[in-house]
């Protein structure tokens, strides 16, 4: 893959007298003080742009130059604002250097749940493509722009460089973006996000002695690893752009950016570069982001390109869960993070907490718990308007109940924290209705809690996740 270039007369640059524009970032965005990405007008090269800056008494230091994106990033020391820089001839647009972050991975506190990768491959159609069309990604180069890749992982080939599955790459940031140290080793040694992403794309653990021999979407792709996030999961839009351009120059057919965050403005340098790369034959895939709970307009920078592909998160149609048996029902549950393990309350009976009108109570008040609830598993409505899971958990614990099941509204499983010492779990809305009907029919029915997990279809599965940006 080569970038075609044409010789443009330098005289044409002299006619560029229209003012450029400064493109701000969102109110909550973090930027690098005094650092800007400047896009040049067509026909203006790096040398001429530097001459323009010098002629306007701009004291600057070049941070890095781009080629597919016609521009460069600068540290400006002369007090010039972004608006000032945009007025200089030859400047098309000016953007702040913006900090992005996927965050540092957190260790889950809840009870462990086995992955059900067959469900994900069915949803995406990867299983069909692999089995029917025999497409495995052989001959395709995929660039992972992220926290690097742990190329020593046997499911990713176990090595880096010529003859390895992770054959290309670079580290643009080092372990700390505030003190970047660039080198040729893109090892993901302290974060894991990029390795996780690479595994989804193309891991193959079928012949490496794995306990669960998982396989990615395209298990024969060749990888490029471009480290733009440090140990804390932080980087910058300019670092992402350096990674994008090097991936292009090293012949990647596809680049994946599961980064999230960004300016929330469609006119941003990562999106502009995404479109330029796509127009030159590369497939640019970007995660929409995980900021959907913050409102609309939170799609990541790379996902805002006109030509790039933005991918949202979808809930699995099925998954492996701990479950209980009650009467003729078998239903999955998701334990609270404070309980953090499978529930086992053998021979416990169910006691739905009801309001005076017969509807299910939220269990927030001591008055909701009659003496008969003591020692039983109470069923409450998962409406968190009046209190959270900890609030109702403390009240329930004081009332002496054995455990609590929270009916999620409108569907799926609520993530609840609960309280220490009380078995609490969320269940799906339909499961709550089913339990309520069963308890009315046979109040003496008891629970059993199998130790193993089981696959269940999920309410709302196959629809966009609530956290997915849009």
Task: Tell me if 2 is assigned to some domain.
Answer: no
Same domain, residue pair 123 and 94:
no
Task: Tell me if 290 is assigned to some domain.
Answer: no
The pLDDT tens digits for 97-136 are 999 887 666 666 555 555 666 677 888 888 899 999 999 9
Same domain, residue pair 124 and 208:
yes
Same domain, residue pair 67 and 182:
no
Q: What is the CATH number of the domain that holds 38?
A: 3.30.70.80
What percent of the chain shows pLDDT beyond 70? 90
Task: Tell me if 369 is assigned to some domain.
Answer: yes
Task: Tell me if 268 is assigned to some domain.
Answer: no
Same domain, residue pair 442 and 337:
yes
Whether residue 16 has pLDDT greater than 60: no
For the chain, what is the mean pLDDT? 88
Same domain, residue pair 35 and 64:
yes
Beta carbons of 17 and 89 less than 8 angstroms apart: yes
- Enclosing domain of residue 85: 13-100
Same domain, residue pair 78 and 142:
no
Same domain, residue pair 152 and 87:
no
**What's the confidence (pLDDT) of residue 464?**
80
Same domain, residue pair 96 and 122:
no
Nearest-angstrom CA–CA distance, 173 and 156: 22
Q: What is the CATH number of the domain that holds 155?
A: 3.40.50.200
**What's the confidence (pLDDT) of residue 468?**
78
Q: What is the CATH number of the domain that holds 331?
A: 3.50.30.30
The pLDDT tens digits for 368-389 are 999 999 999 999 999 999 999 9
Same domain, residue pair 166 and 246:
yes
Task: Tell me if 110 is assigned to some domain.
Answer: no
Task: Tell me if 300 is assigned to some domain.
Answer: no
Cα Rg of the chain (Å, integer): 27
The pLDDT tens digits for 324-354 are 999 999 999 999 999 999 999 998 999 999 9
Query: 177 or 413: whose pLDDT is higher?
Result: 413
Task: Tell me if 206 is assigned to some domain.
Answer: yes
**What's the confidence (pLDDT) of residue 3?**
32
Task: Tell me if 7 is assigned to some domain.
Answer: no
Same domain, residue pair 77 and 153:
no
Whether residue 12 has pLDDT greater than 50: no
Q: How far is CA 176 from CA 224, 234, 236, in A?
A: 21, 8, 12
* Structural domain count, the chain: 3
- C-alpha count within 13 angstroms, C-beta hemisphere, residue 61: 5
Which of the four pLDDT bands, split at 50, 70 and 90, describes residue 323?
Answer: very high
Same domain, residue pair 184 and 252:
yes
The pLDDT tens digits for 264-321 are 677 899 999 999 999 999 999 998 877 777 777 777 777 788 899 888 888 888 888 9
Whether residue 49 has pLDDT greater than 70: yes
Nearest-angstrom CA–CA distance, 134 and 213: 19
Which of the four pLDDT bands, split at 50, 70 and 90, describes residue 15?
Answer: very low
């Amino acid at each position: 893959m080569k970038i075609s270039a044409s010789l443009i007369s330098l005289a044409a640059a002299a006619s560029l007298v229209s003012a450029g524009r400064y493109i701000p970032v969102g109110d909550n965005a973090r930027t690098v003080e005094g650092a800007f990405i400047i896009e040049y007008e067509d026909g203006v090269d790096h040398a001429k742009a530097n001459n323009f800056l010098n002629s306007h008494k701009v004291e600057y230091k070049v941070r890095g130059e781009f080629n597919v994106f016609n521009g460069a990033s600068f540290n400006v020391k002369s007090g010039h604002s972004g608006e000032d820089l945009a007025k200089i001839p030859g400047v098309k647009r000016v953007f702040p250097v913006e900090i992005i972050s996927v965050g540092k991975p957190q260790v889950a506190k809840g009870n462990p749940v086995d992955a059900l990768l067959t469900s994900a491959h069915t949803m995406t159609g990867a299983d069909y493509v692999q089995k029917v069309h025999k497409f495995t990604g052989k001959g395709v180069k995929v660039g992972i722009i992220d926290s690097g890749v742990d190329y020593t992982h046997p499911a990713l080939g176990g090595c880096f460089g010529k003859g390895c599955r992770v054959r290309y790459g670079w580290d643009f940031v080092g372990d700390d973006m505030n003190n970047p140290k660039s080198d040729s080793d893109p090892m993901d040694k302290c974060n894991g996000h990029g390795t996780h992403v690479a595994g989804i794309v193309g891991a193959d653990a079928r012949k490496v002695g794995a306990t669960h021999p998982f396989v990615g979407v395209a298990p024969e792709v060749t990888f490029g690893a471009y480290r733009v996030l440090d140990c804390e999961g932080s980087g910058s839009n300019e670092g992402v752009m350096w990674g994008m351009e090097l991936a292009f120059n090293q012949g990647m057919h596809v680049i994946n950016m599961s980064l999230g965050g960004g300016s929330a403005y469609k006119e941003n340098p990562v999106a502009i570069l995404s479109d330029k790369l796509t127009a030159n034959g590369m497939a640019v895939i970007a995660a929409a982001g995980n900021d959907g709970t913050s409102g609309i307009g939170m799609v990541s920078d790379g996902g805002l390109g006109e030509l790039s592909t933005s991918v949202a998160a979808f809930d699995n149609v099925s998954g492996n869960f701990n479950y209980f048996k009650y009467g003729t029902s078998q239903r999955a549950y998701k334990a609270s993070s404070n309980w953090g393990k499978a529930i086992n309350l053998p021979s416990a009976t169910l006691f739905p907490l009801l309001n005076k009108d017969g509807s299910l109570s939220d269990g927030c008040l001591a008055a909701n718990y009659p003496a008969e609830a003591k020692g039983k598993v109470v069923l409450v409505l998962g409406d968190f308007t009046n209190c959270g899971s900890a609030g109702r958990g403390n009240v329930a614990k004081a009332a002496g109940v054995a455990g609590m099941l929270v009916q999620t509204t409108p569907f799926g499983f609520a993530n609840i924290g609960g309280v220490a010492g009380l078995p609490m779990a969320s269940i799906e809305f339909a499961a709550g209705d089913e339990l309520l009907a069963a308890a009315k029919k046979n109040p003496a029915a008891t629970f059993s809690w199998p130790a193993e997990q089981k696959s269940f279809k999920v309410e709302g599965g196959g629809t966009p996740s609530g956290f997915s940006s849009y």
